[in-house]
Amino acid sequence: MLNGKVGFAIAGSGMGAVTHAIEIPHIEDAELVAISSRSEERAKQFAETHGAKRWYTDYRQMVEDKDVDVVVIVTPNALHLDYAVSAAEAGKHVIVEKPLETTVERAQQIVDVCRKQGVMLSVIYQMRFCEASQKIKRAIESGQFGKLLLCDAIDKEYREPAYYATDPWRGDRELAGGGCLTLQSTHLVDLMQWFMGPVDKVFAKTRTAVHDIEVEDLVNAMLTFRSGALGTITSSTCIFPAHKHLLEVNGENGSAIMNGEYDDLLFWEMAGSDEKNDFPPDFKLNDITDPHFYPTLRHRFQLMDIVDAIKTERQPAITGEEGMKAMIIKEAIYKSAELGKEIDVDM
Going from N- to C-terminal start, the domains of the chain cover 6-119, 127-292+326-344
pLDDT given for residue 4 in this prediction? 87
pLDDT given for residue 346 in this prediction? 92
Torsional class of 175: left (φ above 0), alpha (ψ -120 to 50), beta (otherwise): alpha
Q: What angle do CA 323, 264, 124 make, to 5 degrees?
A: 20
| pTM of the predicted protein model | 0.97
pLDDT in tens for each of the 347 residues of the chain?
A: 778 899 999 999 999 999 999 999 999 999 999 999 999 999 999 999 999 999 999 999 999 999 999 999 999 999 999 999 999 999 999 999 999 999 999 999 999 999 999 999 999 999 999 999 999 999 999 999 999 999 999 999 999 999 999 999 999 999 999 999 999 999 999 999 999 999 999 999 999 999 999 999 999 999 999 999 999 999 999 999 999 999 999 999 999 999 999 999 999 999 999 999 999 999 999 999 999 999 999 999 999 999 999 999 999 999 999 999 999 999 999 999 999 999 999 99
Same fold, 6-119 and 127-292+326-344: no
pLDDT given for residue 1 in this prediction? 78
* Other CB atoms within 10 Å distance of the CB of residue 304: 17
User: DSSP for 29-41?
Assistant: TEEEEEEE-SSHH
pLDDT given for residue 2 in this prediction? 74
For residues 185 and 219, the answer to whether their CB atoms sit within 8 Å is: yes
pLDDT given for residue 80 in this prediction? 98
Classify each residue of 242-251 as buried b or exposed e, where b means 16 or more C-beta atoms within 10 Å of its C-beta: bbbbbbbbbb
CATH code, 127-292+326-344: 3.30.360.10
H or E segment to which residue 258 belongs = strand 254-259
Q: Give the separation between CA 127 and CA 191, rounded to whole angstroms.
A: 8
pLDDT given for residue 20 in this prediction? 98
Q: Give the separation between CA 347 and CA 345, rounded to whole angstroms.
A: 6
CATH 3.40.50.720 for the 6-119 domain, yes or no: yes
